[in-house]
Amino acid sequence: EAGVAQSPRYKIIEKRQSVAFWCNPISGHATLYWYQQILGQGPKLLIQFQNNGVVDDSQLPKDRFSAERLKGVDSTLKIQPAKLEDSAVYLCASSLTFNEQFFGPGTRLTVL
């Protein structure tokens, strides 16, 4: 079974630039999550989708972050404009049930 795919794996941008990350979940998984993992910390949930609807985005900084999952499969997370403190690994996960989430390899973002 193919796992969660993410791209790009690495991205370096300057502050105030924009960036987008892409996630393809495991086939058939209705629930998709985006997490932010700052170096030395555990992942923090940014947004959770059930099919193409948002279940929880209470921790998403909506002034600069946006996410969509238009057809209920792939998802894109965007940051516009980026700040230095956005430097982190952005993890995508998917699940059939809430209990077991499968994580992708992440995108490592460096903001200079």
Partner 1 sequence: GESVGLHLPTLSVQEGDNSIINCAYSNSASDYFIWYKQESGKGPQFIIDIRSNMDKRQGQRVTVLLNKTVKHLSLQIAATQPGDSAVYFCAENAGNMLTFGGGTRLMVKP
Closer Cβ to partner 1, 61 or 105, answer by number: 105
Beta strands in the chain (DSSP E): 5-7, 10-13, 19-24, 31-37, 44-50, 53-56, 65-68, 75-79, 88-95, 102-103, 107-111
Bridge partner residues of 8 (DSSP): none
Per CB under 8 A, does 25 bind partner 1? no
Per CB under 8 A, does 99 bind partner 1? yes
Rule CB under 8 A: choose which of 65, 75, 101, 109 binds partner 1: 101
Per CB under 8 A, does 53 bind partner 1? no
For partner 1, the binding residues (CB under 8 A) are: 4, 39-45, 48, 55-56, 89, 91, 93, 98-106, 108
